[in-house]
Structure 1
Amino acid sequence: MTFNHCLLVVVLTALCLGSAQAQPAKEAIEAANAEFVKAYNSKDAAGVAAKYADDAAALPPDMARVDGRQNIQKLWQGVIDMGISDLALTTLEVQESGDFAYESGTFSLKAPGKDSKLADAAGKYVVVWKKGQDGSWKLYRDIWNFDPGK
Structure 2
Amino acid sequence: MKKIIVTSICIVFVLAACVQSNNTNNEADVKAISEVSAAIVKAWSDGNYEAFMERLDQDAIVLPQNASSVVGNDALKSLYSNSFKTFTFQVNETLDEIVAFGDYGYTLGTWVGSMNPVDGGEPIPFNNKAVAIYKRQPDGSWLVYRNIYNSNELSLVQKSPELLE
**Corresponding residue for 2:144?**
139
Aligned residues: 134
Can you give the 5+ residue segments of structure 1 that lack an aligned partner in the other structure? Answer: 1-13
Q: CA deviation at 1:145?
A: 0.7
Contact 1:45 1:73 (C-alpha < 8 Å) held by counterparts: no
Contact 1:50 1:69 (C-alpha < 8 Å) held by counterparts: no
Of residues 66, 70, 73 in structure 1, which corresponds to 2:74?
70
Contact 1:122 1:146 (C-alpha < 8 Å) held by counterparts: yes
Equivalent AA in structure 2 for residue 86 of structure 1: Q
CA distance in 2, matches of 1:95, 1:31: 13
Deviation per CA, 1:61-105, whole angstroms, max 9, x where unpaired?
A: 111111122321222222223325112222110122210111111
> 2:38 aligned with 1:34, yes or no?
yes
> 2:35 aligned with 1:55, yes or no?
no
Q: 3-state SS of the aligned residue for 2:61?
A: strand
Contact 1:101 1:130 (C-alpha < 8 Å) held by counterparts: yes
Contact 2:116 2:124 (C-alpha < 8 Å) held by counterparts: yes
Q: 3-state SS of the aligned residue for 2:50?
A: helix
**Corresponding residue for 1:4?**
none
Equivalent AA in structure 2 for residue 63 of structure 1: A
CA distance in 2, matches of 1:71, 1:134: 25
> 2:92 aligned with 1:88, yes or no?
yes
4+ residue segments displaced more than 6 Å: none
| TM-score between the two structures when normalised by the length of structure 2 | 0.71
Equivalent AA in structure 1 for residue 35 of structure 2: A
CA RMSD between the two structures: 2.5
Distance 1:69 1:88, change over 3 A: farther
Distance 1:79 1:65, change over 3 A: same
Q: 3-state SS of the aligned residue for 1:116?
A: coil
**Which of structures 1 and 2 has the bigger CA Rg?**
2
Can you give the 5+ residue segments of structure 2 that lack an aligned partner in the other structure? Answer: 1-17, 160-165
CA distance in 1, matches of 2:74, 2:48: 13
Q: Percent identity?
A: 24
Q: CA deviation at 1:43?
A: 1.8
Q: CA deviation at 1:116?
A: 2.6
Equivalent AA in structure 1 for residue 92 of structure 2: A
